[in-house]
Every structure is written in structure tokens, then in C-alpha cells.
Structure 1
């Protein structure tokens, strides 16, 4: 998709909203069906999965309003998924594969291999946002089996390395931390453990610039954050990383923390504030917290146009991650289908490998053994060659990009407790 200015994006989207049911005769052709597993209930992941479905829906409506793909309309097939059990994951994916979908587009599977194995059973193209080194390792270990499976963002390891890089860059830009210690509060699932280990490795590799402070274990669900807040205050580190991804629980942490904060500390909440519930539940307590995502909606002209269109269609607090990546994923598939028969899964997979696509969340490329894009500034020095690892801060009740410098909307602002 070419870069859009805000006016053309909004005009296109406005036309789309009224045009989906008014397909031209050319769109009477057989639809191209995208299977979208979407968790509709459960203790975790529902907001992210709905954000993804919303982004997918916007892209499908937009493409259909412009004639579909080679005259064929796109169609979404949604099934519920139990993210917390392998059986539930297999059931959802099996239903879609047996239903004859032309591609699978999923925000993330907490248990990735069962989903990947079902997709691999008949080679259907499967694009996902697992943000998972385990998913990458499976593809690298068996490239033939998983040849048509692609992760639309980089692995979670870069949350750790990228966060320490961000701290050093902020120091170079003039921020003076109270001390060089980094406390980590870590949840126990594999995802957060990988991030914690990568963060600790980056601290160890910093040559003494940063020092590992206290490591505090938590277990979901966290019933009471007060003991954690007290341990952090006693440790008195200059940087605090809350390595947990559930927005509602991070909102509870924010509310507890502001009542008895560690003075002067920069507090980073890993990823979870991207989910709408964080701002909705934390309210004024959210102000000043920093968070990041290895993929997210940019604040450039193209990204802001998408944000405006999204908010017009889905009023309320907007998720900053899976909305844009779901939207971009459908455009990647559509671009592949322009040149490859949607029923020829291997041809579509090869087309995806040949794509360079600049979306609302950065540039996607898959021509590597990982089947994942590049991360800026973690794996490429070119801001247009990959997806920016975006660091946000809540400022005046809004998520504002503060890093990297090439993408920022504002500078880091001292939090109320700083």
C-alpha cells in the first residue's frame, strides 16, 4: 500500500464503511477467506485479540471497497479460541483449516506450536504476532514443515536488549538516573521469563553502565501489589522494570505504586499498557509510566491517518499494537494474492517472502530464515528497513512515543514521583 496522507486515508475508509455490502458485480466471484482465531472470553488476551480483529476488519473493508483482490472479495471467518490450553488452540485452528480458509491471521497464540502444527498440516499461510523466540526457533529448526508460517514482528528477546539500549540513549540525551541499578519484577510464564533473561544479559553486557538490582517474582493473578511496591521502595533503584503483560494488573500496579512510589525512579511497564484497559482502569495514576512494544502504530502521517480512521470506526481508547499489525497483515496477504493464486499455498508463501511492505507499523520483510521482519534500532540501523521498537510514555492521559528519536512525538517527561 502506498503511503497515505490523512485526508486520503479517511476518505478511503469513509467510503469503505458504506461500501462493503455494495460489492460490484466483479466481487460476486468466490471470496478469499481469512481465518481469524479470536479469544472472546478468558482472563487474558481478549483485548489484544479484539484489537487485531478490528484492524483486520478495517483492512478487509477497505480492500473490498476498492474492488477486492483481482475482483475477488475478502471474507473473514472468526472462531473463538481458548488461549490457555493446547486443546483449545488446536480446536480453533483445526476448525478454520478444515473449513477451507486461504490464510490464517492471528494476533498471538500463547502456546505456539499446536497452532503452527495445524497450519503446517496442509501448508496454509499463517501470519501471526506471537512475538516469540520459540516460534522463530521452530521455523528455523524445520524450515520445510513451517515454510508458509511468518511472524509479523520480532521475538520478545528484543524487549530486554532494546530496553537497556533505550536507557543508555536517554542518558546520552541528558537524562540523569538517580543510580545505575535496574530492578526487575518478573512474572513466571515463558514469555516474561525470556524477556527478563534478555534484560539481565543486556545489563551484564553494558560494561558497568547498568547494574542488576533486585529481581522480584510475581505470579498471575497478582492479588496485592503493596508488598512488591514496598520491596521496590526499599531497594531504591534508579530504574524499575515490571515484566508483566496483563493490562488490568498493570493498572492495579500503577494505582498502588503512585500511593507510595520510589522517588526519582524511571518505571517501565512491559507492553501491557498498549491494551485499552490500562488507561481506562488506571486513570490519572497512569501518568508518567513508560512502556514499549517491538511493534506499534507509528505517529507519522500514515500512522496518524490510521489512528484517526480507527477511532472514527471504533470509538474509545485505542490499542496501540495489534490494531495496526492486524491491519497491515491483511494488506500483506492481499499484496501476495495479487500475484499468486490464493489456493496455491506454496506460491503465496513464496510471494510473502518476496514482499517488502511499509505499513502503519513499519516495514515488513520475511526473506530470512527467521521469517520475521527487522527491528529498528535493534537489528538494523535504517529506520525504514524494519519496525521501530517504540517506547511510549503516558503524558496528559495519552500514549506518546518518546523513542527512538526518528519516530518520537515528545521527549521523556519526569513522572510525578520523579
Structure 2
């Protein structure tokens, strides 16, 4: 873990320039700094810190500095809910950002909506993050990333058209909203393109041995293996699949992280492909990655999380500016009305369901120790 964090419990961090004292604009951040998604959370915390420092150095927002109140939710729903309550009821934040997990964001949605404070998810792709079980928009929930129906279609289109796969074997996490959703939408799109799922095996997120499920997948001899999962179970699945002699291409969603290489090994990572919200080679991101390395002393590994968190801060700052107020309701309204906002990685426009319109998806190929740009895909959904 990097030097600025050593959390074993739910803690608060405040990021504001020393020159600013009492009169600040408080924004909340919830991150998975510890737990299975810690790598994602650390990248988000560093990136939010970068964005806030940049904005404050230019005079802040509405003439006031931003101050971040950050809680570590430890990748646990109960801690996510508690953090949301503290941000809304105790800290009185204008709005909150993060984390990336769909299940975490869904768990806290009632808190933000009852408290009437806007919440921006960085990478929660399940539709129910912004839409409730009855299909109604959650008024105070937003996201900056595309959704599981979209990335499920990206995976299916890549499998059917680029890999020429006719059959697929799936290994998913039965305890994860994200995994359930991505699996469901992959199957729907793959079958619509003439594909057939010949193995559909489940595990729980805390499991570390998937050999029984992978053996069944191997026996079905699929053209492609699909891992709609995130966290350490994903690279462990890759490693064990190769150890069992599965040589088929392995594809997965946006749960990819550079830590996969350490767990799975370079040989196992060959012939694997992953959905991404950004391409690390995008020239528009170069300055950001250079700044990140200068600030942290390390390369930006979980780059999807980092970019989304960074741009979420600038989106929120823009909304506060357009609202001309720190009133949470007015800020919520401004977030909802976002149109053609040029951020670092995209031009952002909200649709009626609080999701970004017309974002490109990318397929990355695991190659030479990292995931590199392979293809841009915008499927029909």
C-alpha cells in the first residue's frame, strides 16, 4: 500500500490547500482503499487528490477551495452505507464521488436519495446504480462510465466478430451485482449474434479455487472463455484455467487491473482481452499519467479508475459552477443538465437515466506486461 494510506478501519482524509481555512466547499469521496478492490481505490484517491489540488491552485470553485472528505468503505456494503450516511448527515457534503463497485453504489443509493445529495459512481456499470427495481430513475445517482448492457455487447461483438467464436464458457461471481449483470448482457448479445453458451459456472467472490468450475468449462470445449468478474478472483481464474490446459482466448470486462500480471503470470495472460472505458495510449491522457507518476512515484496501473475519478471531480466542479451555488439540489440539477462537457477522456452528455451518451468502448490486449489498445468498438444495443 502506498505511503499516504494505512487504513485498517473507516477513516477520513481531508484534501485542501493549507492557504484555505474555514470557508470551503466540501465534496465527499468513498473509495475501496482496503479489501479486494484496494488497487482500484488507491488509484481513485490519488486521482481525486490531483484534480482537487489543480482546481484549488487555480482559485477553486465559486471563489472557494474544494475540500474532500474521504472514507474507505473496505469493499463492504455495510461500510459503504455507513460512509454515505456520514457524508450526508454529518459532513454535509455538496455531492459525493466513488467508488467503482456496482453493488456498493446500489447499496448506498437510498442514503443519497433520502438525503438529497448527488452521488457520482466512477465505474459502477450495473443499470440499477441509476435506476431502481421498478425502472424509475434514482434522482440523486449518476455515473461517468458506460453500462453493463453496453460492455456486455462489446464483449459479445468482439467474441463473435473478431474471435469468430461460436461457443462460450462463462465463469462468474454469483455474489456480485456487477458480475450477474455483465454475464446476463453478454449472453443476450452473444446469442443474438448466433453464439451459444455451452458452460455457465458460478463461484463466490471470496473463493480462491475455481478448478472444479473450470474443469467443466474445459470439458465443454468453448471457443472463448468469458470472465465477467473483478478483483483477485479474475487473475486467479486466468492462472488456473491455463494450468488446466485451457488455451482458448479469455475475455473479460472492465475489472482488468495491472496487478493481474503478478497473480496470473505473463504466460497465462497471453491471449486475453479486456473491455476498457479508455485507452491508455490516448494522447489526451499523457499529461495526466505523467502527473500521476510524479505525484505518486509509480506508474498509474489501475488507469480506468484513475481517469474516471479525476474527470468526476472536474464534472462536479463544472456542475457547481453552472449551478452558481453549493446547494445540493441545485448541484444535482446541474449534473443532470450536463451537455457537451469536454473532460479529459470524453465529451460528456447525460441521458434521461443519468448515464453518459455515446461513449466509445475499447478492447485491450494483454501484452508485454500491460493491457494495450487493440480495437475501438461501439456496438449496437
Please give the TM-score of this superposition, normalised by the length of structure 1. Answer: 0.78
Pair 1:90 & 2:75 matched? no
Structure 1 pair 310/372, CA: closer, same or farther in 2 (3 Å)?
same
Q: Does residue 225 of structure 1 match 2:210?
A: yes
Greater mean alpha carbon deviation, residues 303-312 or residues 59-68? 303-312
RMSD: 2.6
Aligned ranges for residues 263-342 of structure 1 at < 5 Å?
Answer: 263=247, 265-274=248-257, 276-284=258-266, 285-293=268-276, 295-296=277-278, 298-314=280-296, 315-316=298-299, 318-342=301-325
In the alignment, structure 1 residue 54 sits paired with structure 2 residue 46: yes
Secondary structure in 2 aligned to 1:257?
A: helix
SS of the equivalent of 1:373 reads coil
Quickly say closer, same or farther: Cα 1:52–1:219, change in 2 above 3 A: same
C-alpha contact 1:242 1:268 (8 A) present in aligned 2: yes
By how many angstroms is 1:117 displaced? Answer: 1.9
Question: Which of 296-305 and 97-106 deviates more?
Answer: 296-305
1:211-258 superposed Cα distances (whole Å, 9 cap, x missing partner): 222212223333323334433332222111022212x22222232233
SS in 2 for 1:212: strand
How many matched pairs? Answer: 357
Residue in 1 aligned with 2:180? Answer: 193
1:369 maps to which residue?
A: 352
Structure 1 residue matching 2:23: 3-state secondary structure: coil
**Cα drift, residue 272 of structure 1:** 2.7
Match of 1:115 among 93, 96, 108: 108
Judging changes above 3 Å, is the alpha-carbon distance between structure 1 residues 260 and 108 closer, same or farther for their aligned structure 2 residues? closer
Whether contact under 8 Å (2:174, 2:204) holds in the other structure is yes
Q: How is 1:14-413 mapped onto 2 (pairs within 5 angstroms)?
A: 21=17, 23=19, 30-42=23-35, 44-85=36-77, 87-98=78-89, 99-108=91-100, 110-129=103-122, 130-138=124-132, 141-143=135-137, 146-170=138-162, 177=164, 180-189=166-175, 190-206=177-193, 208=194, 210-246=195-231, 248-263=232-247, 265-274=248-257, 276-284=258-266, 285-293=268-276, 295-296=277-278, 298-314=280-296, 315-316=298-299, 318-355=301-338, 356-366=340-350, 368-374=351-357, 386-404=358-376
Contact 1:69 1:337 in 2 (8 A): yes
How many angstroms does 1:302 deviate by? Answer: 0.9
Q: 1:96 to 1:258 in 2, by over 3 A?
A: same
SS in structure 1 of the partner of residue 322 of structure 2 = coil
Tell me by how many angstroms 1:29 deviates. 7.0
**How far apart are 1:168 and its partner, in Å?**
3.8
Please tell me whether the aligned partners of residues 271 and 292 of structure 1 are also in contact (alpha carbons under 8 angstroms): yes
Distance 1:66 1:359, change over 3 A: same
Distance between the aligned counterparts of 2:215 and 2:115, measured in 1? 53
Q: 1:342-376, CA deviations, whole angstroms, 9 ceiling, x for partnerless residues?
A: 4222222222223222333323221x3211102xx
Instruction: Flag structure 1 segments of 5+ consecutive residues without an equivalent.
Output: 1-19, 375-385, 407-418
The structure with the largest alpha-carbon Rg is: 1
Q: TM-score, normalised by structure 2?
A: 0.84
Cα shift at 1:149? 2.4
Query: Which residue in the other structure is 2:13 paired with?
Result: none
- The Cα of 1:84 is off from its aligned counterpart by 2.9
Change (3 A) 1:341 1:78: same
Q: Distance in 2 between matches of 1:283 and 1:180?
A: 28
Residues 1:71 and 1:28: Cα distance change in structure 2 (over 3 Å) = farther
Change (3 A) 1:298 1:397: closer
Q: Deviations over 1:94-134 (max 9, x none)?
A: 11112111111112352444422222233222211321211
